[in-house]
Structure 1
Amino acid sequence: MSINRPVAGVVAVAVVLVLLGVWGFGGQESAAPLGCIAVRDSFLVATVTRGEVDAVNSVPVPAPQGWNNKVTELIPEGTSVSPGDVLARFDTDQQSQRVEEERSAFEQAQAELENQRASNAKTLAQKEAALQRMELALERAALQGEAMKFESESRRRQQELERRRAELDLEEARKDLAAQREIGKASEAEKEARLRKAKIDLERAEDALASLTVTAPDSGLVVHQKIWASGERRKIRVGDQVWNGQSIMELPDLSAFRVDTWVNEVDVHQLEKDQDVEVTIEALENRRLAGKVTRIAPLARQEGEKKLKVFDVEV
């Protein structure tokens, strides 16, 4: 019985399940010979079905980060690829705009930090100049005090008050300078933190943009994955939208294959585990491979519109 089912990957397989049966003919000889001799011998009983072939081991290729990424380019199924080859591209319009926005924010943060540093340097220079003036004023007051030794008491007291005022002004200038240094450090630290965050945001946006070009992580043969689109489950196509991390294709290991097929309830009794199977891969010029039955479903299920009772078989 030929069963038309979807074929995984790029190959269609015809699975021939070969069962050896022994049939015997014997008994008493007929009174009227028929002109032939019955003998006991063995012959083959073959059950033919179709199924899906898949690699036992394969490397999945997920969709990039983000939601509703639209496929704009897709490598043809069955293409042999090497690590780094481009497998798919996704729409970059929205992500490119985000990169530009993050780059603008980064450049603005850079400018703000530079302006803050320049402003701090200017203010600090002004505070240092004020401190130097206060130091000179104190020295001048001290010299004038020395010259007032022979002046009247009231003149000497007036000069002493000016010296004390100069000392207080100098102390205030020192405190003001120290405070300005702390304020400058804090303001620069804030701008530097904003710049670091802007840089991280820009790098993430650039990485997300780069991830919209999906490359092969390993060598292999490209097999498109099935997705839900337009109310049906089918293989991915250009124009489809996929979810974050959804598998879009696989790179199977071609050293070992698994075939998923089924047989109807009439033929299932002819099968048993470890039974020899001949697999014909139609897409590869009917190449034939040897295999064994590894699993027969214990319960039947319904298949197709006619709701045939079938048993799943794995080779």
Structure 2
Amino acid sequence: MVKKITYSILSIGVLISIWAFLGRDTGEHFDIFVSPQYGDFKVSVATTGELQAKNSIQIRGPQGAREIQIWNMTIQNLVPEGTIVSKGDVVAEIDRSEALTRLQNAELEVQRAESQFEQAQLDSSLTLSQARDNLENLHFQLEERQIAVDQSVYESPAVQRQTQIELERTERQLAQEQQNYRTRVRQAEASIREIEATLTQEKNGLDRIMRVMNDFTILAPENGMVVYARNWQGRKTTTGSSINSFDPVVAELPDFSVMESITYINEVDIQKIRTNQSVQIGLDAIRDKELTGVVTSVANIGEQRPNSHSKVFEVKIEINESDTTLRPAMTTSNEILVETIENALFVPLESVHNHNNDHFVFKREGIQTVMQQIIMGARNDNDIVILEGITEDDQVMISMPPDTSAMRKIRLPENVLEKYRDELVPEEDVVSEQEADIVEAP
């Protein structure tokens, strides 16, 4: 009988326990406390980047396109990115339609200049031939005048004088025509030289177009892997893209022995970045691959990147290791080490709260929880250094209690606050959304 009563009591207790467990309010708040950590605190800036070869050979389009007044060229064919090519292999073809139009126009101009040259030669030949006939006739006429003068010795003085005048007039006319002939020869030569120069110029223009058109078939300058170039907007140059004659880069042949990660830092964090800072690098494509690097370049002027609402600054990070698995355009996760603070006390960012421009943590004091004012130091993406307010032995609450109305608030002494007066400026990025939920104790 006693055993039955005992079993009944135990069964009822078990049922009550099960009911209590299953019927527990799912909205119950659980307080999670953590202890501050003590040690070296690393301040870093995390950012994503993209791999590219530090050194590469550019594959360029026609170099003389500007000489034939072609400013933009369309890529008609381009080998797939990643293709391994040998020196002299065809990499791309440029659309020749505009160049062909210019070639046809140049051929017409050459034909026109050749016709003008031939016509000028014929005209000069005819003109000079007529001038030579006139000179020959004047020589005959002069000879006749001389005969007349010789025969006039038996005539009256007036007749002799008349024949002499005719002779002198013919001599002067012959001299004048000889001078005119020499002038006509020089004029014809000058005219032909001018037309010949125009013809040469047109032929040179035609040769230039033909030479540039030969470069519309782009060949690999060296052995390597083809990597598409990017335009000023960061877009890859592919089939159908337009390249500018001032910088006609189509693709690159990268040198994989030295790689670098190109990343862009926002204007808030760029003040922390300096050259020679060390970097921990991860690859999104190979999760277990860990690399190291160093900041080699920090842009002085910001730029507006596509799909970005704020200015960013380009930062180049050289990879220390040489790895055959590294390829251009791989995405990297970069953690740039800005500063290492030795012997620092730090807590998770989530445990710090802002109220009336003061910063607090909720720490355990005996069986109670109190609001403890703190002075913050440096921070990273996960933790923040606490300069004053707690010790390594304290325990702080991760989240905010649901009710703070009756909670005791412990403020730091005035002399401590005065010491860290500059650090009391509120930081907008430290869990400030919880500020309004804190209620002052009466």
Q: Shorter-normalised TM-score: what interval? A: 0.5 to 0.7
Q: How many Å apart are 1:148 and its aligned residue?
A: 1.9
RMSD (Å) for aligned C-alpha atoms:
3.7
Q: How many Å apart are 1:76 and its aligned residue?
A: 1.2
Letter in 1 for 2:161: R
Cross-structure match for 1:113: 117
Letter in 2 for 1:294: V
Unpaired runs of 5+ in structure 2? 1-46, 270-275, 299-306, 309-314, 320-442
In 1, distance between residues paired with 2:144 and 2:178? 18
Q: How many Å apart are 1:53 and its aligned residue?
A: 2.9
In 1, distance between residues paired with 2:198 and 2:192? 10
* Contact 2:75/2:240 (<8 A) preserved: yes
Letter in 2 for 1:169: Q
Measured at CA, do residues 260 and 138 of structure 1 come closer, stay the same or move farther in structure 2, by a change above 3 Å? Answer: closer
2:220 is aligned with 1:216: yes
Cross-structure match for 2:398: none
Cross-structure match for 1:255: 257
Cross-structure match for 1:81: 85
Q: How many Å apart are 1:74 and its aligned residue?
A: 0.4
In 2, distance between residues paired with 1:213 and 1:293? 39
Structure 1 segment 137-216 matched on structure 2, within 5 A: 137-216=141-220
User: Residue by residue, what CA displacement relative to the aligned partner does 1:120-170 show, whole Å, maximum 9, x if unpaired?
Assistant: 122112212211211121122112211221123333223222212221221
Measured at CA, do residues 261 and 143 of structure 1 come closer, stay the same or move farther in structure 2, by a change above 3 Å? Answer: closer
Secondary structure in structure 2 of the residue aligned to 1:227: coil
Cross-structure match for 1:60: 58
Q: How many Å apart are 1:274 and its aligned residue?
A: 6.4
In 2, distance between residues paired with 1:296 and 1:150? 114
Q: How many Å apart are 1:280 and its aligned residue?
A: 9.9
In 1, distance between residues paired with 2:296 and 2:151? 118
TM-score by length of 1: 0.65
TM-score by length of 2: 0.48
In 1, distance between residues paired with 2:291 and 2:236? 27
Q: How many Å apart are 1:70 and its aligned residue?
A: 1.5
In 1, distance between residues paired with 2:72 and 2:182? 55
Cross-structure match for 2:236: 235
User: Residue by residue, what CA displacement relative to the aligned partner does 1:14-52 show, whole Å, maximum 9, x if unpaired?
Assistant: xxxxxxxxxxxxxxxxxxxxxxxxxxxxxxxxxxx9863
* Contact 2:85/2:225 (<8 A) preserved: yes
Cross-structure match for 2:100: 96
Q: How many Å apart are 1:195 and its aligned residue?
A: 1.4
In 2, distance between residues paired with 1:224 and 1:105? 39
Measured at CA, do residues 150 and 313 of structure 1 come closer, stay the same or move farther in structure 2, by a change above 3 Å? Answer: closer
User: Residue by residue, what CA displacement relative to the aligned partner does 1:79-117 show, whole Å, maximum 9, x if unpaired?
Assistant: 222333221112111110101101110122122112212
* Contact 1:53/1:259 (<8 A) preserved: yes
Unpaired runs of 5+ in structure 1? 1-48, 266-271, 299-303, 306-311
Secondary structure in structure 2 of the residue aligned to 1:185: helix
In 2, distance between residues paired with 1:296 and 1:147? 109
Cross-structure match for 2:428: none
The percentage of aligned residue pairs carrying the same residue is 26
Letter in 2 for 1:52: E
Cross-structure match for 1:24: none
Letter in 1 for 2:53: A
Measured at CA, do residues 60 and 131 of structure 1 come closer, stay the same or move farther in structure 2, by a change above 3 Å? Answer: same
Measured at CA, do residues 279 and 127 of structure 1 come closer, stay the same or move farther in structure 2, by a change above 3 Å? Answer: same
* Contact 1:63/1:243 (<8 A) preserved: no
Measured at CA, do residues 137 and 112 of structure 1 come closer, stay the same or move farther in structure 2, by a change above 3 Å? Answer: same
Measured at CA, do residues 281 and 55 of structure 1 come closer, stay the same or move farther in structure 2, by a change above 3 Å? Answer: farther
Q: How many Å apart are 1:278 and its aligned residue?
A: 8.7
Secondary structure in structure 2 of the residue aligned to 1:147: helix
Letter in 2 for 1:203: D
Q: Which moved more, 1:240-249 or 1:68-77?
A: 240-249
* Contact 1:293/1:313 (<8 A) preserved: no
| Structure of higher RCO (CA pairs closer than 8 Å, 6+ residues apart) | 1
Letter in 2 for 1:184: A
